Amino acid sequence: MIRQCAIIFGCLAIGELIVMITGIKLPSSIIGMLLLTIMLKIGWIKVDWVKGFSDFLLNNLAFFFVPAGVSLMFYFNLIKASFWPIVVSASISTVVVLVVTGWVHQLMRKRQSNETVS
């Protein structure tokens, strides 16, 4: 368990360090995630070494954002004032993302399978 925590927090720490040194506009946690993926890929880290802790974090992800949910109490007025722009633009944009992602993937897949046939 200690090794599991050390690896995940270590990746996060290196991510923070990279952000501090380079000033890159990317969250440290994303850099940490990419580092972990790369180290798994080149085999420096085995999945078993982190699996327990990463499963714990991901299975309980929703619980960790309860405090953020509670902080919403300060923004009721703001949300009420812009309720429709927020809900309508977010919903329509979600339809756009669904359709664009689905279409692009489906089209490219068809093209790829046609190429392999011919």
17 near other proteins (CB under 8 A): no
Binding-residue total with other proteins (CB under 8 A): 71
Residue from 23, 66, 77, 117 that binds other proteins (CB under 8 A)? 66
20 close to 2: Cβ distance less than 8 angstroms: no
28 close to 12: Cβ distance less than 8 angstroms: yes
Write the single-letter amino acid at 88. Answer: V
Residue 109 to residue 20: CA distance in whole angstroms: 40
- Whose Cβ is closer to other proteins: residue 1's or residue 65's? 65
Closest separation in Å from C-beta 81 to other proteins: 9
Burial environment of residue 50 by CB neighbours within 10 A (0 to 12, 13 to 18, 19 or more): buried
Closest separation in Å from C-beta 104 to other proteins: 4
Binding mask 74-113 for other proteins (x = CB under 8 A): xx--xx--x-xxxxxxxxxxxxxxxxxxxxxxx-xx--x-
